[in-house]
Structure 1
């Protein structure tokens, strides 16, 4: 795909996605050495726009299917199910007093994973043509 094709095809995306894609094009994946310094230079609102997806935070499993990121979504759902099963076994075995609070915290962490991984995963799918199972590819933690 040449540059003209990329520019024409990118016009189909919203301004927000175009800005995210341009940032990833210029500075690479979140785990690349040039990403963090460039990201830190952005205003707070731009940092949030590049680094997190608010829709994915609240509607992660549905939103990733809508974006066509079904492989990554199935992986995250599998992680969620595994954590749920292990935590329920733990709660049953120990009669854990703070099960509801821990479940809430785990839910927030899972939602944060969706929010944090969606933008770069969508970039990989739409711009790079990569559609793998690893939802954490290129991420920095």
Structure 2
């Protein structure tokens, strides 16, 4: 993953494809049954199904990062986006995930509760996907 783009963690290739698709107002047509497998090796085989998967993992046309407007990025991070990265086996996904966990641990030390009275841990658990992590960290 190269960063947080259009509401999800994504690689540069997916970011660029989504950007071209929404800016060009492309109406892609699937040559098969609109159920093509989209993964790292077959992502270029069907643009219609690739764009559908972008929306399924949580990419948004707005493309404005919430953390750039004063909110917290982790609060708005899409769990489906993280799961998508693991399924695509994009480079650096696990290191980024581990870094996020370390950042959450550091945040917990300095901010024991969130605004609503819920613990930061409870808030973070509801927004952070844990499937596929090889990290030794735990969200418990």
TM-score normalised by L of structure 1: 0.32
**Structure showing the higher strand proportion among its residues:** 2
TM-score normalised by L of structure 2: 0.32
Higher relative contact order (CA 8 A, sep 6+): 1
- Rg larger for: 1
